Structure 1
Amino acid sequence: MKLITVGDNCMDVYQQIGKAFPGGNPVNVAVYLRRLGHDVNYIGVVGNDNYGNIMLNALKEKGIGVSHVHQIPGETARSMVDIVEGDRVFGDYFEGVMKDFSLSEDDLSFIAQHDLLHTAYWGETDPYLKQIKEGGTQICYDFADKPEDPKVKALIPFVDYALFSFQQDDTATRSFMKRTQALGPKQVIVTLGKQGSLVFDGKEFTACGVEQVDVVDTMGAGDSFIAGYLAGIAEGKPILECMKMGTKNAAVTLGYSGAW
């Protein structure tokens, strides 16, 4: 199965330690998929500043295909981050050249050569999902903690694997998952923080707990879960095994600073 991730990237700038790490949901998922042994391409945009060069070089070093990453005049997106009791706290965000991101016909033709695409809420890919879906590429979309956002109903018919973040496994969460899955996705996948994860496939719910680890930094843990889950899909694994792969991959990321 040929995999591609598309959308936002940014440099996560940790003011406390004076360091910056490449990040962004689609970028992180690509890197974590590669860590699991899968070839993957990434499409996005970076500036021609130092951060843009750092991002491109880091992706190349990780073995990510970057032939369709656009480097244009301007500044690369960046987020200011603090660590409070092991958890990340985001400060100011500078969008930079991401505000100008769009997919060309060449990009769309390249995407059509792939079996599964991952993108996310801030990825600026929404206008293209219908065309991508009609082209035969399956779509995984991370709606983050935005279940009530109008774009959910607008985009969900084009999504095969819909991801959300919730606080707990309760009646309201399961009811939302059922309603959402009925609108088109093969699976609705919900991450629940320390409570693990939950998946509904139209027939039954599957739950999976977390691995107990010493948390250094939660940056990228959710994206690691997504990558592990998608790796399982690419390998034809059953749902529970996909969830376990995601959980194990997230546990690795929790043990070090920065997304990767």
Structure 2
Amino acid sequence: MDNAKKITCVGLGEILWDILPDGPRVGGAPGNFTFHSMQMGLDACAVTSLGDDERGHEALRILKEYGLKVHVWTSDKETGYVKATLDERGVPAYNFALDTAYDNMPFTHEFESVARNADVCCFGTLAQRQENGLSRKTIRAFLDAMPAGSIKVFDINLRQNFFDLEVIKAGLERCTAFKCNDDELPVVCSLFGIDPVLTPEDFYNSFLREKFDIDTFIYTCGEKGSEIFYKGEHSFVPTPKVNVVDTVGAGDSFTATFIALTVQGVDFRIAHQTAAEVAGYVCTQHGAMPVLSPELKKKVEDLVASARPA
């Protein structure tokens, strides 16, 4: 990547409202990824669809207040939302509204222009859940329009039954980095008819690299730590011990931190350690988009500065 200019980064897909026990918050993995990528120093934007309704207008206002750039299609469908309940460990369970704005996002000329200039893009399965929804086609067209050599991060974020083999296969065929957690890995293996107790290392080597030529695998295991397989190398980092408020958005902050730091030249093991620290910090805060602490902000700035060529 050219470090002479800011690296452009896109969170592609759903922006929605998390209706949490302590009140509503704007969320959605692409928005969370965009926000944290921006905090890591990338020129980040979200590409999404919102309804022409109170929730849509308020979401756009809040995202802009956060400093996010948003390319939005205004839909005649309602703005997406999900009712989230937290268990005693702060882990959310979700109940999603159906056939919403983010399911019906067309591939506009504006979106195509963003795609052709994007260095990094993160996408998932949720916005592709409707077989007849526009978003499934749009996400694939967006990825296909990105420049050669760009980074395409497939963070599957499996929710309820909103995924199938065809969507996951299409994502794997297009991505350069794959992210899932320890609950999702056996599901992916079962869908592809491979051993559901395959180790992450075997999954990386015999499936991701061999069948799809994917060189980055981000694997998170909640309290048990995280593993990253990167260009044939491996890193394990234990999960920091923190007082958890809620875990909403922690995985997105982890992925964004790791990807944003590595594309700026930071060593992948240091990027992994920092990603774990950022995700731990997010778990101590309410909501998915907390501003970094001054200590973390300085650490990130120093890492990026030291990674720049002299």
Q: TM-score, normalised by structure 2?
A: 0.75
- Give a deviation string over 1:81-119, Cα, whole Å, max 9, x none: 112213233342113212211322331122211211111
Give unmatched runs, 5+ long, in structure 1. none
**2:199 counterpart of 1:172:** yes
Q: How far is the alpha carbon of 1:202 from its aligned partner?
A: 4.6
Structure 1, residues 210-238: CA drift from partner, whole Å, max 9, x if none?
A: 11110000111101101111221232112
User: Map of 1:160-199 to 2, 5 A cutoff?
Assistant: 160-167=176-183, 172-178=199-205, 179-182=207-210, 183-199=212-228
Partner of 1:152: 168
Find the counterpart in structure 1 of residue 300 from structure 2: none
Task: Give the alignment of 1:65-80 within 5 angstroms.
Answer: 65-66=69-70, 68-80=71-83
Write out aligned runs for 1:1-260 (5 A): 1-14=7-20, 16-17=21-22, 19-66=23-70, 68-95=71-98, 96-124=100-128, 125-128=138-141, 131-133=144-146, 136-144=149-157, 149-167=165-183, 172-178=199-205, 179-182=207-210, 183-260=212-289
**Higher share in helix:** 2
Letter in structure 2 aligned against 1:31: F
Q: Using a 3 Å threshold, how does the CA distance of structure 1 residues 150 and 73 change in structure 2: closer, same or farther? A: closer
**Is this contact kept in 2: 1:208–1:243, CA < 8 A?**
yes
Aligned partners of 1:117 and 1:139 also within 8 Å: yes
Whether the aligned pair in 2 keeps the contact of 1:221 and 1:251 (CA below 8 Å) is yes
Letter in 2 for 1:172: T
Given that 1:80 and 1:92 are in contact with CA atoms closer than 8 Å, whether structure 2 keeps it comes out as yes
Tell me, in whole angstroms, the C-alpha distance in 2 between the residues paired with 1:6 and 1:52. Answer: 17
Aligned residue for 2:256, secondary structure, equals helix
Q: CA deviation at 1:135?
A: 5.1
Distance in 2, matches of 1:133 and 1:184, equals: 18
Describe the shift of the 1:91–1:222 C-alpha distance in structure 2 as closer, same or farther (beyond 3 A). closer
SS at match of 2:69: coil
In 2 relative to 1, CA 165–129 (structure 1 residues): closer, same or farther, beyond 3 Å? farther
Counterpart-to-counterpart distance in 2, 1:129 and 1:157: 14
* 2:214 aligned counterpart, secondary structure: coil
Q: Distance in 2 between matches of 1:210 and 1:64?
A: 28
Equivalent AA in structure 1 for residue 209 of structure 2: Q
- Partners of 1:123 and 1:133 lie apart in 2 by 19
SS of the residue corresponding to residue 274 of structure 2 reads helix
Aligned CA distance change for structure 1 residues 135 and 205 (closer, same or farther; 3 Å): closer
TM-score for the superposition, normalised by structure 1 = 0.89
Q: Which structure 2 segments of 5+ residues have no match?
A: 1-6, 129-137, 186-196, 290-310
Contact between 1:126 and 1:155, CA under 8 Å: does it hold in 2? no
**RMSD, matched Cα:** 2.4
Q: Are 1:4 and 1:118, in contact at CA under 8 Å, matched by a contact in 2? A: yes
Asked whether the equivalents of residues 208 and 215 of structure 2 are also in contact (C-alpha less than 8 Å), the reply is: no
